[in-house]
Homo-oligomer: A and B are copies of this chain.
Amino acid sequence: MPVGLRAPETLLPVSGVRWGTACAAIRQSKRDDVALLECIPETRVAAVFTRNRFVAAPIQLARVHLEVQSPRALVVNSGVANAGTGEAGYHDAERICQAVAKQINVATEQVLPFSTGVIGERLPVDRIVARVRQCGERLRADGWLHAARAIMTTDTVPKGVSVQTVLGGKTVTITGVAKGAGMICPNMATMLAYIATDASVVQSVLQTCLEHVIAQSFHRITVDGDTSTNDACVLLATGAARQSSITTLDHPDYPAFTQALTSVANTLAQAIVRDAEGATKFVEIAVTGGTTEADCLRVAYTIAHSPLVKTAFYASDPNWGRLLAAVGRSGASNLDISKVSIRINNQSIVTGGEVAPTYTEALGQSAMADEELLVSVDLGAGDEQAAIWTCDLSNEYVRINAEYRT
């Protein structure tokens, strides 16, 4: 069960973008598993991919295509990741792009392919290619929720959000969908996110903005420390709103656009954690008082990746010893445990590196019982801060990942 997360009731269309989906029965036959996005020729596209050195075939091909031409279409399948499939897998991704190109009458290099699912298996390319036509025939502006469903793997709910803001007197829309579930870590995850806006933004600004926003959103979530081979986030700006184009980082509308995009990205990133495999708690770890932001992140990730801390979250166990032990081994500079304080949902747990004088087990358990936890760590060493989002480690996580392929 996802933590405090429901399927979006409605996602706003973005002028210039249409989605069509179909079922190619890649790993199941009950729902659509191929999604096609088509955008108008004026669309500017920015993208960020996994930093894993083991890169899936579609990501390799998408990078090549992006160098050649500005994209007109994205094609995404769930069920099989087309990773570790070598030249054959690369050719499979090419064939799918060719089919899409033919269907919507663009160049093959204008199609970006994406896959998510099991690593090391070949795609059923014939079945996918056979469904590309259906995707093309079903293209519609209000296809976002269908797309959000089609890209799911072990996700339990579709993830999407729309935000509107006014830029230069015109209302612009930003709508995004994402999938996550497992293998979530900084530097992207088994995470696919597609965000589109009808705002007019030049490509270089769009790319800078996306990288900036991702660093504060998708790169701040972790489920299990694993970085996937297939992660990608694509941001499309169709320009159909025809507001004064954001041409530089100094443009007066850049801050408002960045803020709206951040809101979309944060909602999607947090939705991924809320629906993480087996998650029963949604946990924000906010570290303050560090000498550097990097130190704060080091402490936050050491806590978030500790299986002992994560199982304590699962058990609603206010095991502050495990928290303090994680802080202690984080490698943060200038770390003086006697200056560290920790609060959980505003309940003081640790002060001066020891259990807080006001702390009682009953108070600790009461704070931990919540489904949403804010773990605030103050290092007492400096003025920097950083926050990340994570979840607990449950029996269900082990069950899902031990049984995923069976």
State the A residues within 8 Å of B (CB): 51-55, 81, 83-86, 118-120, 182-183, 185, 187, 224-229, 305-308, 311-312, 314-315, 317, 319-322, 324-329, 335, 337, 350, 352-355, 393-395, 397-399, 401-406
Contact = CB atoms under 8 A, between A and B. Distances in A.
B306 A53 contact: no
Given A307-B307, A311-B402, A54 B353 contact: yes
Contacts of A120: 319-321, 355
A127 to B, nearest CB: 21
Contacts of A119: 319-322, 324-325
Given A118-B321, A337-B54, A405-B319, A311 B398 contact: yes
B54 A86 contact: no
A128 to B, nearest CB: 20
Given A53-B335, A398-B311, A406-B315, A355 B84 contact: yes
Give chain A's interface secondary structure class. Answer: loop
Contacts of A350: 84
A329 B224 contact: no
B315 A403 contact: yes
A96 B317 CA distance: 30
Nearest to A337: B54
Given A53-B337, A54-B337, A119-B322, A398 B393 contact: yes
